[in-house]
Chains A and B, each alone.
Chain A
Amino acid sequence: MILIAVITLGIIGAIGAVFLYAVSRKFEVYEDPRIGQVQEVLPGANCGGCGYPGCSGFAAACIKADTLDGLLCSVGGDVVMARVATILGKDAAKSEPKVAVVRCNGTCEARPRTNVYDGTHRCSVESALYGGETGCSYGCLGYGDCVEACKFDAIHINPVTMIAEVDEDKCTSCGACVKACPKGIIELRKKGPKSRRIYVSCMNKDKGAIARKACANACIGCGKCLKECQFEAITITSNLSYIDFNKCRMCRKCVAVCPTGAIHELNFPPRKAEPAAAPEAKAAVKVEAQAAPATKSVEAKTVAKTEPAAPVTPAEKPEAVKEAPKAADNNNEIQPK
């Protein structure tokens, strides 16, 4: 009896298998095997930073394209593109690694509140309603639309300053936070040699006096940086200075002359202190905390607070304020890429 059952089921199974095989062959969709190969070397984050729908979309685009120019997986970077190039037998274009930069330093200390926002805690909703809780309507609102958008846990709101901070080790420059910020504060800039970069950490387009009243760290559009730059990397539009990261040669002269400390330099070695000029005293260098920005780690060694108002004479320098000597900066010229 069992034998009959086994044979019957066995025959049914065999028929089913043959049927399935026939159908699968008949309705098979041909997929270029290279897509699978390329997809394997891709990071698999499906973040869309490349501009294509997921890693499979990017793989398909790579295969279709003649050259790999203009195709970049920002998460994987040059290493992954080199592997893709090997598989496909095409040349990978070299690209500069980029990183997201939050161009605002309107901390709670520097930018006093003038009213209390009681609506939905989303940057996009608040931005659509009015200019914000402070006198600067261009600055970071601190509710974290960018944090929500980031798939790589690379951006967080610092609980003390209430400004978004990027963890450059985790950032893949996919651009999600750039799109999420309703004020356009975040920009993808070149990571720079040894991760060094200089940028204007302000978006305020109001006239200097108004900007300064609203925030102690604002760019007032005074133009000192523009005069100082020998490489034509700086432009000033609507009372706001901007450094073109393609032209910047990291001489740090603009950082030294900025009266409000709005220009930031990141990951540079500390300058030698010089007792001389008073204007430099204001140009406190801010080497930002990179590790674990979400925790309450406002360590004195890495963060130097800017002076809000009074010009600091060379004598009374607070801890960790590093001065900027004008001359001795030539050793910090660009490193070869």
Chain B
Amino acid sequence: MTIENNRQLSKNTIMLKTFRIGGIHPPENKLTAGKKIVDLALPKQVIIPLGQHIGAPAQPIVNKGDTVKVGTLIAKAGGFVSANIHSSVSGKVNKIDVAIDASGYRKPAVFIDVIGDDWEDTIDRSDTLVKECNLSSKEIIDKIAAAGVVGMGGAQFPTQVKLLPPPGNKAELVIINGVECEPYLTADHSLMLEKSEEILVGVTILMKAVNVKKAVIGIENNKKDAIAKLTKLAASYPGIEIQPLQMKYPQGGEKQLIDAIIRRQVKSGALPISTGAVVQNVGTCFAIYEAVIKNKPLIERVVTVTGKAVKNASNFRVRIGTQISELIEAAGGVPENTGKIISGGPMMGKALVNTEVPITKGGSGVLLINKNESKRQPMHECIRCAKCVNACPMGLNPTLLMNATEFGNWELAEKNFITDCIECGSCSYTCPAYRPLLDNIRYGKAKVSAIIRARKK
């Protein structure tokens, strides 16, 4: 039985919108809500992975020994679906070597020794808010691409690709994801409170880039201060609307958010743009503002370091490439009996093998869980209670898909839309028999996708 946090549901939740199929209510544990963003001290070395986005890894254009400044381009996009990577510090390139990243595998990365904090001259470091943007749509998209902006909600999808819909699809509105439905994380919340106007300007730039007149910012109802502040400020920005949403996980999923806000469901196998919506995270909007107005490439982000036993849980502003050990130190060190260290939130984040893993563009949080809560319980037989079926936001049957995967019945898995799974984890969360549903579905998804690709060839 899911523990419903009734305190958080206000009286008007019945009237608030939310997505229509499935969903769960994990306890929020927003331990760092309301904490001001703290700039983390510069580390001695940064490790910048070359594969911080969906698509082909970037190709390095610097060599060992090169001097770089903050904002220097160090790797070029390796294809259409790829992104540029910039140095987040000033100093000397130590080496280009492999390093373990959040995937648990060693991937190529650029190691830079930090010397001082010199920025590229083109970057405007002032804090003054600039509202006007006179660039054309194409110029905006080019600037976003040059700055290496990717989806900062965690998906890390190169933004410029999303802003260029494939032929046959037309954007009707922009939906901004201010939902932050994962428990514990508050990076987006603090950004919405401290950089509200910048985000709104970023939204208008985005609207210009895709040529739409309407934008809706979806924010879950547990962030009432953000809703109030943004609603007040949005009054002076034509076309931008703030929509409070009922709290439910995974409201921040792109398809679920589109369903919640405009009541349209993306068909199986189709792209979200087919519903006319372009969805971006608030952090990405802020990065767009900085890229287009301040000529600042994506080199830092807000990360929530949290956990029930963490002494100084906070929201830190961190340079890309900083090792997680630095963040944990600043938050009071690794607590006793820590069992798991997770990059991201507890539902979709990745458990790390050690703390030398660097923060990437999509790393929104570092969560430390103690040993007792880390170990999984032993699993039982499926009792066909169908709680997973009710929880699945995509309307799938997780226990059937797990069975199909275990027995290698790929036809059955494909017929039951295993490729539609968004890997949110709601099924494993609800299962009373502690079955590792998502583990198997993920494996089945990969297998079936490979079969489909081979068929198309």
B104 near A: Cβ within 8 Å? yes
B440 to A, closest residue via Cβ = A120
- B100–A125 CB distance below 8 A: no
In the complex, chain A residues whose CB is within 8 Å of the CB of B105: 130-131, 137
A119 near B: Cβ within 8 Å? yes
Query: How far is it, in angstroms, between the C-alpha of A118 and the C-alpha of B350 when the chains are bound?
Result: 13
B374 near A: Cβ within 8 Å? yes
B436 near A: Cβ within 8 Å? yes
A206 to B, closest residue via Cβ = B106
B37 near A: Cβ within 8 Å? no
In the complex, chain A residues whose CB is within 8 Å of the CB of B436: 119-120
- B354–A120 CB distance below 8 A: no
B103 near A: Cβ within 8 Å? yes
- A118–B104 CB distance below 8 A: no
In the complex, chain A residues whose CB is within 8 Å of the CB of B350: 130
How many residues on the A side are at the interface (Cβ–Cβ under 8 A)?
16
A7 near B: Cβ within 8 Å? no
Nearest CB of chain A from residue B54's CB, rounded to whole Å? 17
Query: How far is it, in angstroms, between the C-alpha of A114 and the C-alpha of B355 when the chains are bound?
Result: 12
- A115–B353 CB distance below 8 A: yes
A129 near B: Cβ within 8 Å? yes
- A118–B353 CB distance below 8 A: no
A134 to B, closest residue via Cβ = B353
Contact residues, B438-455 vs A (CB, 8 A): 439-440, 442-443, 446
Known: A114-B353, A120-B439. A131 touches B376 (CB 8 A): no
Contact residues, A118-150 vs B (CB, 8 A): 118-120, 122, 124-125, 128-132, 137
Query: How far is it, in angstroms, between the C-alpha of A9 and the C-alpha of B347 when the chains are bound?
Result: 72
Interface residues of chain B: helix, strand, loop or mixed (majority): mixed
- A130–B104 CB distance below 8 A: yes
Contact residues, A195-252 vs B (CB, 8 A): 206, 210
In the complex, chain B residues whose CB is within 8 Å of the CB of A210: 98, 106
Query: How far is it, in angstroms, between the C-alpha of A206 and the C-alpha of B98 when the chains are bound?
Result: 9
B7 near A: Cβ within 8 Å? no
B415 near A: Cβ within 8 Å? no
A182 to B, closest residue via Cβ = B443
In the complex, chain A residues whose CB is within 8 Å of the CB of B353: 114-115, 130-131
- B106–A137 CB distance below 8 A: yes
13 contacts between A and B (CB under 8 A): A114-B353, A118-B376, A119-B439, A120-B436, A128-B446, A130-B104, A130-B105, A130-B350, A130-B353, A131-B105, A137-B105, A206-B98, A210-B106
Residues of B within 8 A of A (CB): 98, 100, 103-106, 350, 353-354, 374-376, 436, 439-440, 442-443, 446
Beyond contacts A119-B376, A210-B98: 12 other A-B pairs, Cβ-Cβ < 8 A, are: A114-B354, A115-B353, A118-B375, A125-B439, A125-B440, A125-B443, A130-B103, A130-B105, A130-B350, A131-B100, A131-B105, A210-B106
